[in-house]
Amino acid sequence: MPTCPKCKHTWSDTPSPPIGTKPYPGRVTFDKTSDQGSGAYHGTACVLLDPGMIKVTLNGEVALKGNPYNGRDVWRFLKVGDGYVKPWTFIFYHADGTVYSYVVTGSSTPTGPTGGNTETVKPSSYGNGDRGNARFSKPGSAYGKNIQVWVDGSLKMIVADGSKRQEGKNGLIWKPVSDSNGRLVVVGEYKVHYKTCTIRW
How far is it, in rounded angstroms, from Cα 179 to Cα 35? 28
Q: In what order do the strands lie in the sheet with 154-161?
A: 118-121, 197-200, 145-151, 154-161
Angle at 171 between CA 107 and CA 45, to 5 degrees: 35
pLDDT at 139: 96
Q: What's the chain's Rg over C-alpha atoms?
A: 20
pTM score of the predicted model: 0.49
The per-residue pLDDT for range 131-161, each reduced to its tens digit, is 999 999 999 999 988 788 888 888 788 888 8
pLDDT at 42: 81
Contacts of 7 (CB under 8 A, 6+ apart): none
Phi, psi at 83, each rounded to 5° = -80, -5
Buried b / exposed e over 82-114, threshold 16 CB at 10 Å, is: bebeebbbbbbbbeeeeebbbeeeeeeeebbbe
Instruction: Report whether 168 contacts 157 (CB < 8 A).
Output: yes
Domains of the chain: 22-104 (2.60.40), 118-200 (no CATH)
Instruction: Report whether 159 contacts 82 (CB < 8 A).
Output: no
Q: How many residues does the chain have?
A: 201
How far is it, in rounded angstroms, from Cα 46 to Cα 69? 11
The per-residue pLDDT for range 159-179, each reduced to its tens digit, is 888 999 998 888 999 999 998
Q: In what order do the strands lie in the sheet with 29-31?
A: 29-31, 46-49, 73-76, 64-65
Least confident of 96-100, 131-135, 148-152, 188-192: 148-152
How far is it, in rounded angstroms, from Cα 148 to Cα 166? 12
Buried b / exposed e over 6-32, threshold 16 CB at 10 Å, is: eeeeeeeebeebeeebeebeeeeebbb
